[in-house]
C-alpha cells in the first residue's frame, strides 16, 4: 500500500503541515510566511497523492541487467574533487580566482566521476565500459583541453610580445613561426618517427614557451606601453588642432556603446549639427543626463581632418587656479566616425554652458544641456 517513495513524501507533507501549524500558533504570522508554508503543504500533498496513486511509477517486471557486476576501477576524480573543496575553502578567504579554480575542479570531478561510475555499471566487461565512458566524455574533454592549451599558448606568447620592443617582437614572431613550420614539415616528411620523440619535442616547446612567458611577466611590459597605460589624457589636454594620439578614454567605459547613442554630431560643409533619436530635424543643442555616461557619435563629412572637442567647464586644480576640463575624439578624416563619452556631474546652471566644438573652426558649436 505505502510505497517507499510515498512514505517519504507523506513524512515531508506531515512535517510541513506541523511547521505551518507551529508557525501560525507560535510565530507572529506574516502573510508571506503563511503563504509559503501553506504552499509547501499543498505542493507536497499533491506530489504525495500522485506517488501513492501511481505506486512510485513502479513496474513489476522492470529489470536490471543480470550481467551488471560492481567492478570499480581506481579513479583520480575523488582526489581532484577533494582538492577542489580545499581550493574552495582557501579561495573564500584569499582571492576569488582560487575559489573559481575550486569550482572548476569540483565540477570536473563531478561530471567525470559520475560518468565513470555509471559506465562501470554498464556491463561486466571493463574494456567495453571504458569505451562507452570515452564515447560520452571525449567530445567534451577534447575541446576543453584544446581550448586550455590554446589559451596557455596565446597568453604566454603575448606576455613575451608585450615585454620585448617592437622590432625584436617582429623578429621573434618570424623566427618562431619559421621554426614551427619547419619542425612540422620535418615531422610530416618522416611518418616513421617515434611517437615518443614527437611528444618530447612538444613538451620541450610547451615548457619553453610557458617559461618564456613567466620570465617576461617578471620583466614587465616594455617602456612605451607602461607610459601609455599611465598616461592621463585629461592632464595633456591636447584637444587642439595638433595631431596628437590622445583621445577620449571614457569610450570604453560603457557596456555597449552602440545601443546607447545620446546624439549624433555631424560636420558637413563647415557646419556642426546634432541629431537626436525621437526629435525630428537637426538640433543646435542636446540634452544629456547628469552624472551618467552619455555616448555621442562624431561623424566627419567634411574634407580634411577634424576632431570633436567637448568643453566641460572649469575645475579648480589649486587655490585660485582654474583649469579647463575638456575631452575630445581623435583627429578623423572625411567619412570617418568616432565616439565620445561624456559624464557631466554638474547641471548647466552651474556657470558657462557646456559645448561641443571643432578646434580650428570658429562660430560652430552645439550646446550640451544638463538638467
Partner 1 sequence: MTLVNRLGGVICRLKSLILGTAGTVFLASCGRNAPQDTFQPKGPNAQKIDTLQKPVFAVAGIIGVIVAVAVVYSMVKFRDRGQPIPKQSHGNPALEITLTIIPALILAVVGVFTFRTVFDLNKTSDTQMIINVTGQQWWWEYDYPANNEYGITQPIITSGQLVIPVGTKVMLRETSRDVIHSYWIPALNGKRDAVPGRITTNRIEADEPGIYAGQCTEFCGLSHANMRMEAVALSKEDFAKWVANQLKPYAAPAESTLAKEGETVFLNQCTRCHQVNGLTRADGTPVIAAPDENVWSGAAPNLSHLMSRNTFAGAMFNLVTPECRTDVWKSESVTFGAKYLAGVDEPCLNQTDLRGWLRNAPAMKPMYANPALLAATGGKYRGMPNLGLSESDIEKLVAYLLTLK
Which residues are at the interface with partner 1 (CB under 8 A)? 21, 24-25, 29, 31, 34-35, 38, 50, 53-55, 58-60, 253-257, 259-262, 276-279, 285-287, 289-293, 345-347, 349-350, 369, 371
- The residue among 260 and 360 lying less far from partner 1, judged by its C-beta, is 260
Cβ distance to partner 1 smaller for residue 239 or 368: 368
C-alpha cell at 237: 589636454
Q: Which is nearer to partner 1, 223 or 319 (CB)?
A: 319
Nearer to partner 1, 262 or 302 (CB): 262
Measure the CA–CA gap between 203 and 209, rounded to whole angstroms.
10
Nearer to partner 1, 10 or 261 (CB): 261
Complex with partner 1: residue 25 or 66, whichever CB lies closer:
25
- We find the least distance from the C-beta atom of residue 46 to partner 1, in angstroms, to be 12
Estimate to the nearest angstrom the gap between the alpha carbon of 265 and the chain centroid.
32
Give dist(CA 26, CA 190) in Å, integer: 84
Asked if residues 306 and 300 have their Cβ atoms less than 8 Å apart, the reply is yes
CA 339 to chain centre: 23
Q: Which is nearer to partner 1, 76 or 279 (CB)?
A: 279
Q: Considering the complex, what minimum distance in angstroms separates the CB of residue 143 from partner 1?
A: 32
Q: Give the whole-angstrom CA distance, residue 267 versus residue 175.
A: 47
Give the Å distances, CA to CA, from 336 to 261, 270, 295, 332: 17, 16, 17, 6
Give the DSSP H/E element, type plus range, for residue 261.
Answer: strand 261-268
Identify the three-state secondary structure at position 209. Answer: helix
87 with 98: CB under 8 angstroms? yes
**In the complex, least distance from residue 230 CB atom to partner 1, rounded to whole angstroms:** 22
**Cα first-last separation, the chain:** 74
Sign of CA pseudo-dihedral 229, 234, 238, 241: positive
DSSP assignment of 291-330: TS-EEEEEEE-SSS-B--EEEEEEEEEETTEEEEEEEE--
The answer to whether 174 and 168 have CB atoms below 8 angstroms apart is no
Q: Do residues 288 and 344 touch, judged by C-beta distance below 8 A?
A: yes
Q: How far is the CB of 262 from partner 1 (least distance, A)?
A: 7
Nearer to partner 1, 59 or 192 (CB): 59
Minimum distance of partner 1 from residue 29's CB (angstroms): 7
CB of 273 to partner 1, least distance (A): 16
CB of 191 to partner 1, least distance (A): 50
Query: What is the rounded distance in angstroms from the CA atom of residue 304 to the CA atom of residue 187?
Result: 55
Angle at 40 (CA atoms; ends 37, 41), nearest 5 degrees: 90
Q: Which three cell numbers stand for residue 65?
A: 541487467
Cβ distance to partner 1 smaller for residue 269 or 280: 280
- Please, what is the minimum distance in Å from the beta carbon of residue 369 to partner 1? 5
Minimal distance in Å, beta carbon 2 to partner 1?
14
Amino acid at each position: 500500500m505505502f510505497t517507499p517513495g510515498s512514505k517519504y513524501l507523506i513524512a515531508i507533507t506531515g512535517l510541513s503541515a506541523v511547521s505551518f501549524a507551529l508557525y501560525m500558533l507560535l510565530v507572529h504570522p506574516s502573510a508571506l510566511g503563511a503563504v509559503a508554508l501553506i504552499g509547501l503543504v499543498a505542493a507536497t500533498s499533491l506530489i504525495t497523492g500522485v506517488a501513492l496513486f501511481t505506486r512510485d511509477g513502479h513496474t513489476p517486471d522492470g529489470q536490471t541487467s543480470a550481467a551488471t557486476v560492481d567492478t570499480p576501477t581506481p579513479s583520480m576524480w575523488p582526489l581532484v574533487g577533494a582538492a577542489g573543496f580545499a581550493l574552495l575553502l582557501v579561495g573564500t578567504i584569499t582571492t576569488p580566482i582560487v575559489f573559481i579554480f575550486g569550482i572548476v575542479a569540483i565540477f570536473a570531478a563531478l561530471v567525470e566521476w559520475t560518468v565513470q561510475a555509471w559506465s562501470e555499471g554498464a556491463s561486466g566487461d571493463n574494456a567495453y565500459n571504458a569505451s562507452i565512458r570515452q564515447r560520452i566524455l571525449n567530445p567534451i574533454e577534447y575541446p576543453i583541453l584544446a581550448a586550455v592549451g590554446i589559451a596557455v599558448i596565446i597568453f604566454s606568447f603575448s606576455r613575451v610580445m608585450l615585454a620585448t620592443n617592437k622590432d625584436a617582437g617582429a623578429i621573434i614572431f618570424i623566427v618562431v613561426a619559421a621554426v614551427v613550420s619547419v619542425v612540422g614539415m620535418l615531422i610530416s616528411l618522416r611518418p616513421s618517427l617515434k611517437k615518443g620523440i614527437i611528444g618530447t619535442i612538444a613538451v620541450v616547446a610547451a615548457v619553453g614557451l610557458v617559461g618564456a612567458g613567466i620570465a617576461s611577466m617578471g620583466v614587465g611590459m616594455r617602456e612605451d606601453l607602461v607610459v601609455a597605460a599611465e598616461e592621463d589624457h585629461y592632464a595633456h589636454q591636447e584637444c587642439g588642432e595638433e595631431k596628437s594620439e590622445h583621445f577620449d578614454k571614457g569610450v570604453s567605459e560603457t557596456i555597449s556603446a552602440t545601443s546607447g547613442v545620446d546624439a549624433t554630431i555631424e560636420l558637413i560643409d563647415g557646419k556642426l549639427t546634432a541629431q537626436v533619436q525621437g526629435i525630428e530635424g537637426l538640433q543646435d543643442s542636446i540634452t544629456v543626463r547628469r552624472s551618467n555616461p552619455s555616448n555621442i557619435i562624431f561623424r566627419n563629412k567634411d574634407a580634411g581632418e577634424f576632431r570633436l572637442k567637448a568643453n566641460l567647464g572649469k575645475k579648480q586644480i589649486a587655490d585660485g587656479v582654474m583649469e579647463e576640463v575638456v575631452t575630445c575624439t581623435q583627429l578623423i578624416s572625411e567619412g570617418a566616425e568616432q565616439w565620445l563619452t561624456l559624464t557631466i556631474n554638474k547641471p548647466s546652471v552651474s556657470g558657462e554652458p557646456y559645448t561641443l566644438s571643432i578646434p580650428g573652426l570658429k562660430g560652430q558649436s552645439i550646446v550640451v544641456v544638463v538638467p
